[in-house]
Amino acid sequence: MGWEDFAAAFLNLAIMREASPILVQGLVQTILLSLLVVPLGLIGGTALALLSTVRHPLVRWPLMAWVDVFRALPPLVLLVFLYAGLPFAGLELPAWGAVAIGFFLNTGAYYGEILRAGIESVPREQMEAARSTGLTGGQAMAYVVLPQAVRNVLPDLISNTLEVVKLTSIASVVALPELLYQARQAQSVTYNASPIVAAAAVYSVLLWPVVRLLSRLENRQLAARR
Amino acid sequence: MREARSAREGPAVTAWERFADSFFNARVAAEYLPKIVDGFWLTVTLALGIVATGLAAGLALALVRSLGLRPLNWLIVFVVDLFRALPPLVVIALLFFGLPAAGMQLSGFASTWLALSLVLMAFAEEIFWAGITSVPKGQWEAARSTGLTFLQTLRFVVLPQAVRLTIPPLTNRTIAITKGTALASVVAVQEILGAAHAGVSFSFNPTPLTLGALAYLVLFLPVVVFGRWVETRFAWRR
């Protein structure tokens, strides 16, 4: 196979141009999807992390089980269960609904673990000092502990957010027309792999700066631990 | 007639029965359990393959990078960044749906194995590299000045320290990526999710999916708990 054949099959500009309108539509959906599931995961994760500060065993153990179960189930399994399983229970979810719930459960558990580690990294005296100045428990958590917790685990939070954005590609499995889905459609219509190559290029160009940033933060974090 | 009446009485009971009949149907479960078990071993094989090749390739890249050859290092950083930025499912789709256009047909299993190995390689290289660079330069120089060769320094001085530092992030990343084996169902591999999904279509009953979810829990719950243990075991107290 010569270079020209290769280029025609994978880097076919004519086909990429033809597919670009639906790829752009797909990208818009991917962005909207990310804007939906990242905040959902953060809300779920914050709730889990706050609950984890309760030391009572009746809270602690169910919480740990919840987090571990949703970290053990592959997100795609959760999504397929919600989308293809629940209709049998008379609950017909639209693709967006299934994706939202699946991501809430899965990424919420991950964000929850990260934020819990963050809260635990803030010395206990901070809470005591804040309370002794007259702040309520909630105020002390919101204005004193959480900001420091978030700063301490910022690289992990960014890393998880990157993974969540990449993970939105599994929504293609339940026919939600995001970037990968549209690229697959274009590929099957044109019998040419160029649309998928174009989608891959879009993902890597958009996410590359985040990867660079993370790589730096992680190196610094590891170096600081010594 | 009798069935119609029994459906009318006690709606709570019948709703539960209908639910149980859907999601915990013993007959369907018995019929599809062997397929799920086959899928389970396929998932295990796939996951072990990915872990072996991904970690080995990642370590190899990190070691090559430590030689400090500029153009080679740029290439490594480029490849690593690329596979950290690309969603795994996109890589799988490229290999499985794209390669035939180049006259190369990879099976769904091979596509998933290769794709996830490349992704794990990228993350592992990054973590190993961070571990290697975290060992101060002075230790390299001291080791070399005692007469150790480059490789001996790497083997006896740098790697033992680097590995310890890298184990928690590496464990978590490896777990997260091996869970991606479920993506193989998209390219028609009959691993757990693939087998379960096919079972639902054939039986028109979601019980195989319940079994599939349980199979994943059996496989990954111990792994997740192990990851949690590793994290506390290797925790660095500040």
CATH label of the domain that carries residue A18: 1.10.3720.10
- Give the whole-angstrom CA distance, residue A82 versus residue A91: 9
For residue B182, being part of any structural domain is answered with yes
Nearest to B133 among A71, A77, A219 (CB): A219
Q: Does A154 touch chain B (CB under 8 A)?
A: no
- A226 interaction partners in chain B (CB closer than 8 Å): 134, 136, 165
Q: Does A119 touch chain B (CB under 8 A)?
A: no
**Residue A96, H or E segment:** helix A95-121
Give pLDDT, residue B236. 55
Query: What is the mean predicted confidence (pLDDT) over B30-52?
Result: 94
DSSP A37: H
Q: What is the 3-state secondary structure (H, E, C) of A143-190?
A: HHHHHHHHHHCHHHHHHHHHHHHHHHHHHHHHCCCCHHHHHHHHHHHH
Q: How confident is the model at residue B130 (pLDDT cuts 50, 70, 90)?
A: confident
Q: Does A216 touch chain B (CB under 8 A)?
A: no
For residue B176, being part of any structural domain is answered with yes
Q: How confident is the model at residue A1 (pLDDT cuts 50, 70, 90)?
A: low
For residue B116, being part of any structural domain is answered with yes
The count of other CB atoms within 10 Å of the CB of residue A129 is 13
Average pLDDT, chain B: 88
CA A33 to chain centre: 10
pLDDT digits (tens, 9 = 90+) for A69-94: 999 999 999 999 999 999 888 888 99
Q: Does A122 touch chain B (CB under 8 A)?
A: no
The count of other CB atoms within 10 Å of the CB of residue A21 is 11
Q: Residue A202 in contact with residue A27, Cβ under 8 Å? A: yes
Q: Which domain holds residue A141?
A: 3-224
Nearest to A73 among B89, B136, B213 (CB): B213
Are B193 and A85 in contact (CB < 8 Å)? Answer: no
Enter the tokens of residue B90. 């996109």
Are B223 and A72 in contact (CB < 8 Å)? Answer: yes
For residue B5, being part of any structural domain is answered with no
Q: Does A213 touch chain B (CB under 8 A)?
A: no
Q: Residue A52 in contact with residue A71, Cβ under 8 Å? A: no
Query: What is the mean predicted confidence (pLDDT) over B185-197?
Result: 93
Give pLDDT, residue B6. 46
For residue B28, being part of any structural domain is answered with no
Q: State how many domains chain A has.
A: 1
Give pLDDT, residue B189. 93
- B210 interaction partners in chain A (CB closer than 8 Å): 85
Q: How confident is the model at residue B47 (pLDDT cuts 50, 70, 90)?
A: very high
Nearest to A211 among B84, B99, B169 (CB): B84
Are B165 and A1 in contact (CB < 8 Å)? Answer: no
Give pLDDT, residue B5. 44
Give pLDDT, residue B131. 86
Q: State how many domains chain B has.
A: 1
Q: Which chain A residue lies closest to B161 (C-alpha atoms)?
A: A226
pLDDT greater than 70 at residue B200: yes
Q: Residue A49 in contact with residue A110, Cβ under 8 Å? A: no
Q: Which residues contact A139 (CB under 8 A, 6 or more apart)?
A: A130
Are A77 and B221 in contact (CB < 8 Å)? Answer: no
- Give the whole-angstrom CA distance, residue B199 versus residue B193: 10
**Farthest-apart Cα atoms in chain A, separation:** 75
Q: Which chain A residue lies closest to B191 (C-alpha atoms)?
A: A77
Q: Is residue A135 packed enough to be buried (19+ CB in 10 Å), middle (13-18) or exposed (0-12)?
A: middle
Which of A116, A74, A15 has the alpha carbon at shortest distance from B178?
A: A74
- A219 interaction partners in chain B (CB closer than 8 Å): 130, 133
In this structure, what CATH number is given to the domain that contains residue B171?
1.10.3720.10
DSSP B38: H
Q: Does A172 touch chain B (CB under 8 A)?
A: yes
pLDDT digits (tens, 9 = 90+) for A87-142: 888 888 999 999 999 999 999 999 999 999 999 999 989 999 999 999 998 999 99
Give pLDDT, residue B11. 55
Q: Could you give the 3-state DSSP secondary structure of residue B171?
A: helix
- B82 interaction partners in chain A (CB closer than 8 Å): 204
Are A223 and B133 in contact (CB < 8 Å)? Answer: yes
pLDDT greater than 60 at residue A148: yes
Q: Which domain holds residue B206?
A: 34-233
Are A166 and B88 in contact (CB < 8 Å)? Answer: yes
Query: What is the mean predicted confidence (pLDDT) over B226-237?
Result: 77
- Give the whole-angstrom CA distance, residue A66 versus residue A79: 17
Are A85 and B200 in contact (CB < 8 Å)? Answer: yes
Q: Which residues contact B152 (CB under 8 A, 6 or more apart)?
A: B143
pLDDT greater than 90 at residue B13: no
